[in-house]
Amino acid sequence: MPKTLAQLYETDFVAWTEQTAQLIRAAQFAQVDWDAVIEEIESLGRSERRELKSRLEVLLQHLLKWQYQSTLRSGSLRNTIDEQRHRIADLLQDSPSLKSYPQEVLAESYSRGRKAAMNETQLPQSKFPVECPYTIAQILDTEFLPEAA
């Protein structure tokens, strides 16, 4: 017995996407589960925001490690910083409407990045500033690396 699109959406997402795409291509719009389509489109936007925020947190964590654990600087640490910056730049290029998002989430992202840096370095909490010591421009600047503290 064939499943309805609503059932497929809950049980086999890939099959749902394939059938929905076929229906839209065939202009059979009345058969499309539009509520699910709308939900997925909105989810795509949330996913981009989550990825950008996550990459910003990792970038801040590693900038702090670069600054406050300068004796352990390595090519690997620099590569992680560069990779996060490149991925953030790609996200912002692909979705220009997210340009202001890093500033919007900076305080929360810094707090999480700071905590991760503390956990990883085992340095005391007092070692790291409570407020983000970098501007968004510095954070995203591929040439910027903070001086040793």
Q: Which uninterrupted H or E stretch holds 100?
A: none
pLDDT in tens, the chain (149 residues): 467 888 999 999 999 999 999 999 999 999 999 999 999 999 999 999 999 999 999 999 999 999 999 999 999 999 999 999 999 999 999 999 999 999 999 999 999 999 999 999 999 999 999 999 999 999 999 999 999 98
pTM: 0.85
The span from the CA of 19 to the CA of 42, in Å, is: 19
pLDDT in the model for residue 1: 45
**Number of helices (H) and strands (E), helices first, in the chain?**
7, 0
